[in-house]
Copies of this chain bind each other. A is one copy, B any other.
Amino acid sequence: MAISKVSPESLFPVKGVRLATAATGIRYQHRDDLLLMEICKHARTAAVFTTNQFCAAPVIVCKRHLGTVQPKYLLVNAGNANAGLGAQGIADTCAACTALARESGCNESEVLPFSTGIIGERLDVEKMTPYYAQLIGHLEEDGWVAAAKAIMTTDTVSKGFSKQVKLDGHTVVVTGIAKGSGMIYPDMATMLAFVATDLGFDSRSVVSVLSDAVRQSFHCVTVDGDTSTNDACVLIATGQAGIDFSELSERARVEFIRTLDSLFLDLAQSIVRDAEGITKYICISVDQAPSESMARNIAFTVAHSPLVKTMAYASDPNWGRIMAAAGRAKAGPLEMNRLSLYINGLKVVTNGKLASGYTEEAGIQAMQNDEIEFRLELGLGSCSARVWTSDLSHEYVKINAEYRS
């Protein structure tokens, strides 16, 4: 594995959020696979979910509960997606919420359920129930690192980031964890991600801040173009830092948004860096486009091309494949004689043809890096987009052909 992967060793606690994990043995042995997150009173929580119409039972129930009240608990199980089970899946998810509500004394609609893992096998919620009392008893603010581990499925490392920022004299924390390494394509929060801050928010602002952050992060990554049935991304604002977003100075607001956005991007990129079978971490940049949507469309078409992904795996500067992928994007008219292509800064194509001075040797050299940027300049405008993806390796085929995730 060429890409360095770092698990979080410590993450700042967020006042107002407590976590606990347990090992139920539903699918995995000898590891935690159940996470309980408790959210304090007066917090504001927003979530975005998969756009996949074949969405899992917990996604349906989450949306229903979130529309009613502010949640008190997030309940996350790893190893079983509880998807593709029709009414039975919904009933099982509701039963899990009810059991936790009974144990904790809250209303079942105050529980948001999340599942990730294999599709089509019934979730044995009875195996979870005996652990609720223990989880509630062990809730602690410092549980983020263990939580990041408990939600993993095919992930090879746990994913978490934490930032502390001084805003108008107040110290504010943002901490987030995520899981995911296959069935990754944006179009809604891809995978599971839980981010919390102790800054205060009103209900409307927390939704718009989450939506903006997701657009610039999880919506800019892809592994295989397959959108999961269970994707969800949650932002919790506890307000325990003693200050509200609306009370901040303009400068501090910008600073907070920048901090939050960069944490979301860190999480999203950490999923690509842990992509199934990855040996190359690839950034596709499209510049000089007439619109952002055109730039995004071209970048994703290149990112999804199996021919581009295999040439990256081979460290082969087979640049015609990138041009061909850009040319087939249904993105609007291109002027091929204005198009330029750079591989890790090396000019390969100018005005639609091979750059003078380009040599195959230099191209091969540029492709050796573990991190590769393919940058296209369209020469048609001033808009840009960047997306991140992984290569297509033997290991990818092996993982997806040989294992059930």
Which residues of A are interface residues toward B (Cβ below 8 A)? 51-55, 81, 83-89, 118-120, 182-183, 185, 187, 224-229, 304-307, 310-311, 313-314, 316, 318-321, 323-328, 333-334, 336-337, 339, 349, 351-354, 392-394, 396-398, 400-402, 404
Contacts and interface: CB of A to CB of B under 8 A. Distances in A.
Contact of A401 (B305, B314, B326): B314
A402 B353 CA distance: 24
B227 A86 contact: no
Nearest to A277: B397
Given A84-B320, A225-B305, A229-B320, 13 more contacts: A54-B339, A81-B320, A119-B321, A120-B320, A183-B324, A187-B328, A226-B306, A226-B324, A306-B306, A306-B392, A313-B401, A396-B397, A397-B397
Contact of A53 (B86, B183, B319, B336): B336
Contacts of A328: 51-54, 185, 187, 226-227
B118 A320 contact: yes
A401 B311 contact: yes
B86 A353 contact: yes
A272 to B, nearest CB: 15
18 contacts: A54-B323, A81-B320, A119-B320, A119-B321, A120-B320, A226-B306, A226-B307, A229-B323, A229-B327, A306-B306, A306-B392, A313-B397, A314-B402, A318-B404, A393-B401, A394-B394, A394-B397, A396-B397
A327 B120 CA distance: 14
Contact of A306 (B84, B118, B311, B400): B400
A323 B84 contact: yes
A318 B354 CA distance: 44
Contacts of A311: 400-401
Contact of A86 (B83, B334, B351, B404): B351
A250 B402 CA distance: 54
Nearest to A399: B310
Given A54-B324, A349-B84, A352-B86, A224 B306 contact: yes
A344 B397 CA distance: 23
A231 to B, nearest CB: 10
Given A54-B336, A318-B404, A349-B84, A227 B393 contact: no
A170 B394 CA distance: 55
A316 B83 CA distance: 18
A110 B1 CA distance: 55
B120 A354 contact: yes
Contact of A228 (B53, B88, B324, B349): B324
A311 B401 CA distance: 5
A55 B226 CA distance: 28
A232 to B, nearest CB: 15
A337 B86 CA distance: 7
A120 B326 CA distance: 15
Contacts of A305: 224-226
A324 B227 contact: yes
A224 B404 contact: no
